[in-house]
Structure 1
Amino acid sequence: MKTLYTRIVLTVFMILLLSGAIALLVSNIAYHVWWQPTYSEKTEQTAQAALDYFETHTDGEASAFYALLAQTGYQLLVVRPDDDIDRYGGSFRDESLDADIIASVQDGERYDGMRSYPFHLFWLGLFDNEVVNTYGFSVDGNEGTDAVFIRPDLSAQIRELHLFVGLFFALLTGLAFILIALSTSLIVRPVRTLTEATRSVASGARPLNLPTERYDEIGTLARRFSDMVDSLEKSEGERRRFVSSVSHEFQTPLTSIKGYASELVIRTEGDARNYARIIHDETERLSDLTRQLLLLARLDESNVSLTESVDISASIKDVIRRHAFQLDEKGIAVATDLDETLVVTGDSLLLAQVWTNLLTNAIHASDDGGLITIKAYAADRPTVSIEDDGVGMDEATQARLFERFYKGDASRTGRGTGLGLAIVQDIVRLHGGDLTVESRLGKGSVFYVRL
């Protein structure tokens, strides 16, 4: 994908190239329409003046006259009466010329190839060094009548300028490229800053160093963006306070409902008991949801103290013991390979919540009689992996796995709230770590926690 910087540089160079092509085309048209007849007329006048000089000041020695004319800045092609060809001045790129034209010039007619030279789209006729692009006349010398074709020797006239012109265009191209690159970088820099700011906002951080002090469109955009971030932070703060307040207020009535439902399960029979059990289970699920929402609100406020020394091995073993009933109920075995010396600084309750959520997730995903493997080891960072041999996940599910309230495949998540893995990710990030997953559909999954 091309960056804005690359696009601007390429666009400027394309504009320069297009402008150069258009300028060359317009100049060529102007030369062909207005200047070519004048240029041909001047060459004709020079040829006539030279011919008059030859007839009045020489003794018919044509070769010396041709050499003298070449020294004045012209190139000549002379066809002798015996069809031999002599060249004076610079050589022609193409010496082909119709024999009838040569014969007519030797018979005394004039040839004006410069005036009738055809138009070429991107090639200026002035510089086309061909014999057909000359002015032709006859010279009666001591050895007979010669057909002389003459044109200005531009290569001789501008030879001294070649080095200067070459250096000029080399410097022009190099400096243009450097200045375009530098100026484009300065133009694009605030756009890159705004791009990084959008990424910061997307990751939950407040962007810094926005170019709000500028008094142009970029500055206006930066100020509007900053105002938008302030508004989003205000709305997000209100949302978090609302969720926290509502979740907290729900806890007390849910506890009461669950208590009465438990009592009804004991005291009733038949359909009434089934209804009471449903009320109890759904109340338990809502209570779990409110607890997780309260935990998320606590994590969002980032007021957690991470000062404890947490024994990873002991923490994981304690979580496994607390899930012994669920594991036995499905006949799931747990294999562990834990580094007993692994200690990190953090919050023991939050890290226990990480192992709890990941283990619960693995239990839900595993079939009866499955195997869950838990490892804790010191790589470049303390790492914990929890692997199951359950249903696995496709790539679409993995892409959204850590979104809040995303449940994915019901066969993996059961009747969960869709908050468990989001909570795990927030806790791990709070500890400066990262959470990743490797999974194949039908082959199981492995979650890696690097602290």
Structure 2
Amino acid sequence: MPYQTDDANLLIVDDLPENLLALDALLRGPGIHVHQAESADQALELLLRHEFALAILDVQMPGMDGFQLAELMRGTERTKHIPIVFVSAAGRELNYAFKGYESGAVDFMHKPLDTHAVRSKVSVFVDLYRNRKRMARQLEALERSRHEQEVLLDELRSTKVELEAAVRMRDDFMSIVSHELKTPLNTLILEVQLRKMQLARNNFAAFSEERLRQMTDKDERQIQSLIRLIDDMLDVSRIRTGKLSIRPTSIDLSQLVVSVVENFAPQMEASGCELQFERPEPLIGVWDEFRIEQVLANLLTNAVRYGAGKPVRISVCRTDEGACIEVRDHGIGISPKSLERIFHQFERAEGSENSAGLGLGLFIAEQIVKAHGGRIQVESEAGQGALFRVLLPLESPAP
């Protein structure tokens, strides 16, 4: 039967079996387990196996006597706190009681034992033991509670820091979004107001065919800017919820890069960036054409934005891993500090605060490349431009 929490073990040591049986019968009771030893050696074995509330030692035993056993117990960390009561049949004139107290005993009893006195004394020590165990358990519970509270406080502090960072990120994001959305919207509103003013004056000559084409092209650019901003925000939401869609099909990556480069040529020319690109050999693989185009567009947008009007070089080649696309600019470059965070959402490199964009392009690009089983590498130094390298396996993982 397993011991209960408040059970107490008693050790009785006597070289006479009849004395052990008498003490056992006297002391045994509910929640009290009596362990008998006929010698000091047996007692030491029991002391190694059990925790005792009290040890009752006979003084006069062959071999190691009770006093020697007590000295061993007091010299051992595991047993030095066990209360010891000596019993002896010797006369009081031998002064055993004094020697017993010197050995660290808490009491000394002479044989024949007073049954009532023995039970009362043992009951006191058992109660003290149980109270000590209860206090130890309470202290352990308090310590666990204190530790749990500290862990909870640490978690709360961490959560507070994360929430504060999230609030700052939200505020920064809203500030950037407001600015970025206002730029094309303000242009569109201004154009509409100018046209309304011309119409109010019946100045239809202001709407020549060439002028209308320019207006339409300008409106389309502003609308496309708004669409890109909205698409970026939607993609971030999809990435966070694990719903970014990847639909791989067999495509020629080289032809895709050619198409993106052709679409960016007017923008590069307007920014004064010379576009260096040699038409590559066909490179067939299984990728999501729309998403890879999105990655290229983000990298080229950054190259134009931070390229300081210097040449931008694009290359496509086959590698041992699959396909490699490199976009190299010679602009402001990226500091080591910024390199650690440019792929985080809403983060932009130092020195780019006055540039357009939400700080989402590289974050989205990296997530798209990862979804294809690939990776993006970047090499850069401040003032030395940047090289972005996209490595893609020829076949994307299953969606």
TM-score normalised to structure 2 length = 0.44
Which protein is richer in helix relative to its size?
Answer: 1
When normalised by structure 1's length, the TM-score is 0.39
Greater radius of gyration (CA): 1
Q: RCO greater where, 1 or 2, for CA within 8 Å and sep 6 or more?
A: 2
